A and B are shown apart, each in its own frame.
Chain A
Amino acid sequence: MFTQQLVNGITEGSLFALIAISFSLVWGLLKLVNFAMGEIYMFGAYAGWIVVSYITPNLFLALLAGFAVGWGLGWIVEKVAFKALRGVPHIASLVCTIGFSFLFKEIAAAIFGAQTKAMPSFYSSTALVVAGANVSWLQIFMVALAAAMMLLLQLLFYGTKIGLGVRAVALDYRTAGLMGIKVDRVTSIAFSLSGALAAFVGVLAAIYYNAINPYMGFVPGIKGFTAAVFGGITSIPGAILGGYLLGIIENMSVQFVSSGYKDFVSYLLLIVFLLFRPNGILGKKAKL
């Protein structure tokens, strides 16, 4: 049973990890939280659902559609909640993203209806059996994807000019601006990327759970955020580690504590971490 819970935890963890990257991207640049992330995730799932059920049952096309929709929504949120509100107290941006979260889920409910909709599954056949635990191809795919995404982002950040720009802006946007980096553009790209990632995960989750509805984003949004803080919100490997840890801890606490207290354990650990290691497991020391 322990291995089965470990497998469960790792699979759920890869979803958390990918959302955590989104939070970490935005945080790294702007020191802000986008509370509409869960809703972008939800819209991604709907985009994937439209592709799969109306156009062509192709997993990769669905993921691509999710990515595109997320990119667009991320771009909109950045323009309204962050660019237009730059320089005013953070609370304004925070509340603005809360407004977007409201708007997005109710728009989705108005367009698609509030009913839970079925999503077909892909690659759900068993790939291997580890100590009595079934592992499907999709689960392997999800873990591989999280790893690939981490590598890709590291490559992007440490191997490209845009990445250099992002890092410079994250370090000190004023100096970066003085050095001729187009801060607005870099921010916009990174933000859209974070939205695209969240929506991408939304498609994956929809396929994994075979169901979507307009209110599906709230829990993963909060969990992804928790995972990001857990692992160190300033670092992308940290966010991924946080995601996996959170997934494993939650599944283990169902097994060894009680299902009613599963979230309790993770939030308690979060507070403990904040107190003794506020920068998370892999977080860098705060740069002031």
Chain B
Amino acid sequence: MQNRMIALLSAVLVLVGGASLWAAGGTDNTIHIALTAPLTGDYAEYGVNFQRSVQMGIDEINAQGGVLGKKYVLSVGDSRGDPKESVSLAQKWTSDPSIVAEIGDFTSSCCLASQPIYDAAGMVQLSPTASATTFTPGSVWSFSIVGTQAYEQPFMADLAFNKLKIKRMAILFINNDWGMDTQKFFKENFEKIGGKIVAVESFFQGEKDFNAVLTKLKESKPDALYMATMYNDGALISLQRQKMGWDIPVLGPSSLYSTELTKLGGSSVNGLYTNVSFFAKDTDPRVQAYVTGFQKRFGATPNFHAALAYDAIYILTEAIRRAGSTDKQAIRDALAGIKGFQGLTGTITFTPNRDAIKGYKAVQVVNGDFKLLK
């Protein structure tokens, strides 16, 4: 038995060896780029939006004749939101000589885990959403366009304290890298301008029952509740808060901005404040073209994360155009030099650390609809 298994094992190894032979190279009139996104698993709904937006952008660019006269070819990999998978994909992309740049991943932990691979191979790793402050300073090849919480949270703290006159705030955050960063920066900035954080509670990914934490937060008698969560958890929290009969102003970061929030949360999210740098009702014709195109093709309204992925493919295209070649170093340098790029999520200028500072607009949910705050 053992012998047969050894034979089998060697056969498998030979097969793997053989497989390396067909590791193909690209042809001359195409540009290969890769997308890493969680298409399955806990973060699948965000990953699927990544894929939709990037595919849409690529189809549009190809229809207009491509970039540098070449058409895009997209390779998509599913990271399942698992850092190990993300690393494996990074290795796959960087080992493929035809791929010139990568877009992704969704979570900061996945991006951080695969960073050393892109760094060693010298390939642009452009994450639409990674907002951990430690991410982009880690490698000259890492870029992020969402804008870290270090920029967004001062805006929210200012909105809460100065405009809405909230003095005592309770925070509920999702206990992952993103949520941790978000609540930390909000807390720091809110306290710096004179506000008081009366309670901080957290929950883990996958939690559905927030009654206990909400009860505890309510006890601290805050003026308002800050939800550092994604829109789906945010909607659940709001529903349960409403059922508890706890009527209180709610605020949260831009991750709450999604038509899904109002669809899931119904009347419970009315009055909620958040901010946007991408607004689906923006009168900008490019935003409208994107939103209607997305709705027509996928039957859903794009949210902030989707728009960021769309911006990612366009800013990458701009970099390739400026570089004038598909040389990886040239693309990186061109990307780092981009200033004032007009994206759907606002003007993007990379800082020396290769993350972006965005402009933020406050919005409020009014009767199930996001309205810009004056």
* Interface residues in chain A, defined as those with a beta carbon under 8 Å from any beta carbon in chain B: 1, 4-5, 8-9, 11-12, 106, 109, 113-118, 121, 124, 126, 134, 136, 205, 209-211, 213-216, 218-220, 250-251, 254-255, 258-260, 262-263
Contact = CB atoms under 8 A, between A and B. Distances in A.
15 contacts: A109-B40, A114-B39, A116-B232, A121-B239, A124-B243, A126-B245, A211-B236, A215-B44, A219-B208, A220-B208, A250-B212, A251-B215, A254-B212, A254-B215, A259-B201
Contact of B211 (A12, A124, A216, A219): A12
A153 B300 CA distance: 45
B264 interface: yes
B212 A262 contact: yes
A213 B42 CA distance: 9
Contact of A1 (B206, B215, B245, B260): B215
Given A116-B45, A259-B201, A251 B264 contact: no
Contacts of A109: 40, 44
B212 A114 contact: no
A215 B245 CA distance: 28
A133 to B, nearest CB: 9
A1 B202 contact: no
Interface in B301-354: none
A134 B264 contact: no
> Taking each of A113, A121, A259, which has the highest tally of chain B beta carbons within 10 Å of its own beta carbon?
A259
A254 B216 contact: yes
A190 B263 CA distance: 39
Interface string B61-76: 0000000000000000
B48 A116 contact: no
A105 to B, nearest CB: 9
A8 B245 contact: no
Nearest to A8: B211
Nearest to A256: B216
Contact of A106 (B40, B42, B240, B263): B40
A213 B219 CA distance: 31
Interface in B287-307: 300
B373 interface: no
Given A4-B215, A126-B245, A134-B244, A118 B266 contact: yes
A81 B100 CA distance: 46
A118 B300 CA distance: 14
B213 interface: yes
Contacts of B40: 106, 109, 114
